[in-house]
Structure 1
Amino acid sequence: MDNASEHKADGPVPATLHELLDSAARTRPHAVAVRGEDAVLTYGELHGKARAAACRFRALGVAEHGTVALLLENTPDCVVALLAAARLGLRLAPLEPGTQVPQLSVIREKLGPLSVLGHAARLAALEGTKGPAPLDCAFVPVEDPGGDAPTWEARGDEPSAPDAPFLHQYTSGSTGEPKVAVHTQRNLVNGGDIYARSYGITEDDRILTAVPLLHSFGLVAGLVTALRAGAELVLLGRFTPARLLRALDEHACTVLVAAPMAYDLTTRAAGAGPSVPRALRLCLSSGAALPPAVARRAKERLGLDIQQVYGCTEAGVIAARHPQDGSAADGSAADLGVGRPMPGVRIRVVDERGDEVAPGEEGALLVRTPAMFTHYLGHADATREAFTDGWYRTGDVARVGPAGHLHLVGRKDSFINVGGKKVNPVEVEQALLDHPSVVEAVVWGEPTDDGGERVRASVVTRPPLSATELTSHCRARLLPHQVPAEVDFVASLPKSPMGKVRRAAVRTAARTASSVRRF
């Protein structure tokens, strides 16, 4: 089935980030563009600072290196640096703020000569690091040094190419070695356009971004969407539930962009006492699956259904729930799946031969999106394997429900082969989570001596819970070959900053665990 959502245009979509900023600065120069915890910039000021920073970067030779590694924090200065790099048409690699010298050395080997941009304190710590060999990179603070800015050269105002390689983003590596997915500026602008049109985001909105900008969700749903709509971007620096709730009220935020972990922690900490945020109209969640229990608590605390967004680094946003779909906090959540395909997104669900399956049947999910990446850097074979006749192979097994909602069944490469029988770890995880004492669960296939696999799980529980009780619970809900052969009871699961479980780290910890409870 070739499924595409209607996409009504109300004018041509700009092709680059600096075109978005130029347009907003012309039409709304005095409107707030970015609000950080220690600075506020109007669109006119953001435009001027991005232009001056681009000039400074050029004068310091940043453009000569070709690639910039930005230690990207949720601050106005980092937003300025990102937009300056876009204006210059540089290759940009957004990195965790705490990236260390050994990691930068690996990145330099992959990307070539680097200029490292970041807050002065971060750079000073890197430059002071002692190691076997100095890091051959230029270090450039993102802070405005003040004083007279270098003269802007005429060639610096020439528009950057919208389809040239721009964003070099590391994938999560949840199913293997992280790769660098390359996006153009047009990809990113198209992604912001999808969010703005899908959720009616306008210049009257104030978007609180409580996820890191260095991740696709924060960058596109937050920054790029705000630029596209001419809206105000409110940046939450260090996350705490109290800071998030205070920002929602103090700045009358209308849109919240956050990961499931933030919704979970905020609703647990807040309780039922405080009032519902007065201006909030839309809550978006991505980066990991949104557990039904978290969705229910969030609706009680924030007064709104949380709209789950499904996408990936390579393809951008693919599908999402919308307020008109109904409640995701009651029994209808299973019927909604991960939502309907977003505007301009086309999906196919195919069998092993590449033929489309009938509606409701499971198959491999292929997508085409306006925000699609172009290739994996230095991985020509992986790039070829990722596409089939121009369709990106997500690696997810899915089906399409009768109302057109997309349902994810699991990852094809994560299925467990138990004596020739395929076990979907998602089904086993759901069975474990159905126990009231199980808070989190991860299931994977552990190799056996005979070349097969067995089901193994790691669970976080609320004590007391015995192995006997949990195995009885699983046997009542699963087939014999699906029941975990071994379970680790752990205090917590390793997660990314977005709250996504790092499955490889879970497996490594389980193999070296000194204490294991067996079924």
Structure 2
Amino acid sequence: MATASESRTDGPARPAPATLHELLGTAARARPQAVAVRGEGTVLTYDELHDKVRATARRFTALGVTEHGTAGLLLENTPDSVVALLAAARLGLRVVPLEPGTPRSQLMAAREKLGPLSVVGHAARLAALDGANDPDPLDCALVPVEDPGGHAPSGDAESDGVTAPDAPFLHQYTSGSTGEPKVAVHTQRNLVNGGDIYARSYGITQDDRILAAVPLLHSFGLVAGLVTALRAGAELVLLGRFTPARLLRALDEHACTVLVAAPMAYDLTTRAAGATSSVPRALRLCLSSGAALPAAVAQRAKVRLGLDIQQVYGCTEAGVIAARRPEDGTGADLGVGRPMPGVRVRVVDERGDEVPHGEEGALLVRTPAMFTHYLGHADATRRAFADGWYLTGDVARLGPEGHLHLVGRKDSFINVGGKKVNPLEVEQVLLAHPSVVEAVVRGETTDDGGERVRASVVARPPLSSTELTSHCRARLLPHQVPAEVDFVASLPKSPMGKVRRAAVRAAPAVRRS
């Protein structure tokens, strides 16, 4: 923070940062020698990170990345990837975060959608792409995140950083959990606003050390991890490849105060850890997002980590919407938490009128981190908004204290003989059977044009479909009981552990007698 004398010398206070480079510059001026990013074998102070970003931006320019205008970043949880992302932000490039192992076919599909593309990634990843046995040329520039020569081209260090905060920047693929993924376009201001929401809501300051145990590739890791750390001037600790042992070791070795992880990471970590292990000494906040946090996982994590896990609800398009906070305590009526600062929510009926608290309806939101449009999908963009409110597609209700409760997805309700079935209710009953590990319920079209309930279940043998159906009949109305049960070895999931519902019907069934 500037002193009074510094304020008089520098003149009027600078406006609040609106781009990632402004965030970085502010932190570098305030805390040049503080650790900014820590990865395996690499530690960068804010001053070093700032210098490496400027040098990398000049290198990208010299290699022609700016001529393409779009960078497909094979984004990994490494300091070099962070530098590459921030360099692209400094240059005002359009950035498409991609899975590190993205195959050539998907890169070619991305190029068809996005136009000329520079693929930026670790040298080993690029070598695998370049050396792939494929007759079709990739037709993309391959640019390593590492500086192979150790020197960047000379140039004016400040002339390459004039970036419009409201220009299209992050082109984020939606999860595709309920259909074909689309590309949601965000500005840098969107991302900065998202980091500001997390920092203010959870009191994250320069004294915090944030462990990102979720891919920066996804909006939760990117915003709750990297952007929030930049906004607060905090230290970002990158886990890299996740294992429960590595996560617990990093928490202790680096005295991490904030953990950003998906429910799957909490689940695996608490299953692997011994009940007598000590809780991390410095940890004060655990955030979970990317999928629903099962109550059993939350309870195990509380025992192992010594804290309540704060569930965060959001989406690629709108950013963070609602979340639980430590001051909420525990209780049955917390839902996914209260709307975050600056977020407005409405729960409406089919006419668009708001319903009273406690009643269910369609959830509409306005957030400071809202996307601008779907790339190449003008009709989908129009359908996504109603008078400036984003239609989440979720059915929800508001509790008496303003906590948000998700009921289900509007487009996933099943119409059985004119009666609506919420698949989440059926899934909860299936999961209540002690032999059921995972379950997904969907609607299936019948020969007469109607729908019936069908379930895909991961279960421990010798559970039979007859036994499971009897279990459901004792707890559900007749029209809610699955007409068919498919036992599967696993359910298709995203890297965050979220079930890809649109792909469930393709999962091969396991025969059960």
Compute the TM-score of the two structures, normalised by the length of structure 2: 0.96
Of 469-478 and 221-230, more deviation after overlay is shown by: 469-478
1:391 aligns with 2:373: no
Q: Using a 3 Å threshold, how does the CA distance of structure 1 residues 430 and 12 change in structure 2: closer, same or farther? A: farther
Of 155, 178, 181, the match for 1:178 = 181
Which residue pairs with 2:239 in the alignment?
A: 236
Aligned partner of 2:74: which letter? L
Of 337, 358, 361, the match for 2:359 = 361
What are the residue-to-residue correspondences of 1:314-463 with 2, within 5 Å? 314-327=317-330, 332=331, 334-463=332-461
Which residue pairs with 1:278 in the alignment?
A: 281
| Displacement after TM superposition at 1:515 (Å) | 3.0
Of 424-433 and 498-507, more deviation after overlay is shown by: 498-507
Aligned partner of 1:354: which letter? G
> Partners of 2:510 and 2:76 in 1: how far apart?
38
Of 114, 117, 136, the match for 2:117 = 114
What are the residue-to-residue correspondences of 1:87-98 with 2, within 5 Å? 87-98=90-101
| Alpha-carbon contact 2:414-2:420 (below 8 Å) kept | yes
| Displacement after TM superposition at 1:495 (Å) | 1.2
Q: Deviations over 1:434-470 (max 9, x none)?
A: 2222221100011111111110111122334233332
Of 283, 289, 292, the match for 2:292 = 289
| Displacement after TM superposition at 1:476 (Å) | 1.5
SS at match of 2:506: helix
Compute the TM-score of the two structures, normalised by the length of structure 1: 0.94
1:141 aligns with 2:144: yes
User: Between the two proteins, what is the percent identity of the paired residues?
Assistant: 85
| Displacement after TM superposition at 1:210 (Å) | 0.4
1:506 aligns with 2:504: yes
Aligned partner of 2:470: which letter? S
| Alpha-carbon contact 2:220-2:289 (below 8 Å) kept | yes
| Displacement after TM superposition at 1:115 (Å) | 0.5
SS at match of 1:239: coil
Aligned partner of 2:27: which letter? A
Of 300, 303, 309, the match for 2:303 = 300
| Displacement after TM superposition at 1:148 (Å) | 3.4
1:187 aligns with 2:185: no
Of 189, 200, 203, the match for 1:200 = 203
Number of equivalent positions: 501
> Partners of 1:264 and 1:154 in 2: how far apart?
46
| Displacement after TM superposition at 1:155 (Å) | 7.3
Aligned partner of 1:171: which letter? T
Of 457, 463, 473, the match for 1:465 = 463
SS at match of 1:247: helix
Of 427-436 and 212-221, more deviation after overlay is shown by: 427-436
Aligned partner of 1:235: which letter? L
Which residue pairs with 1:55 in the alignment?
A: 58
Which residue pairs with 1:22 in the alignment?
A: 25
| Displacement after TM superposition at 1:508 (Å) | 1.4
| Alpha-carbon contact 1:13-1:190 (below 8 Å) kept | no
Q: Deviations over 1:217-263 (max 9, x none)?
A: 00000000000000000001110000000000000000000000000
SS at match of 2:498: coil
Aligned partner of 2:83: which letter? V
Q: Deviations over 1:62-84 (max 9, x none)?
A: 00100000000000000000000
**CA-atom RMSD, angstroms?**
1.4
The ranges of structure 1 where at least 4 consecutive aligned residues each deviate by more than 6 angstroms after the TM superposition are none
| Alpha-carbon contact 1:13-1:193 (below 8 Å) kept | no
Which sections of structure 2, spanning at least 5 residues, go unmatched?
A: 1-12
> Partners of 2:376 and 2:293 in 1: how far apart?
34
| Alpha-carbon contact 1:88-1:156 (below 8 Å) kept | no
Which residue pairs with 2:268 in the alignment?
A: 265
Which sections of structure 1, spanning at least 5 residues, go unmatched?
A: 1-9
SS at match of 1:335: coil
| Displacement after TM superposition at 1:365 (Å) | 0.3
> Partners of 1:382 and 1:15 in 2: how far apart?
28
Aligned partner of 2:327: which letter? Q
Aligned partner of 2:52: which letter? K
Q: Using a 3 Å threshold, how does the CA distance of structure 1 residues 194 and 11 change in structure 2: closer, same or farther? A: farther
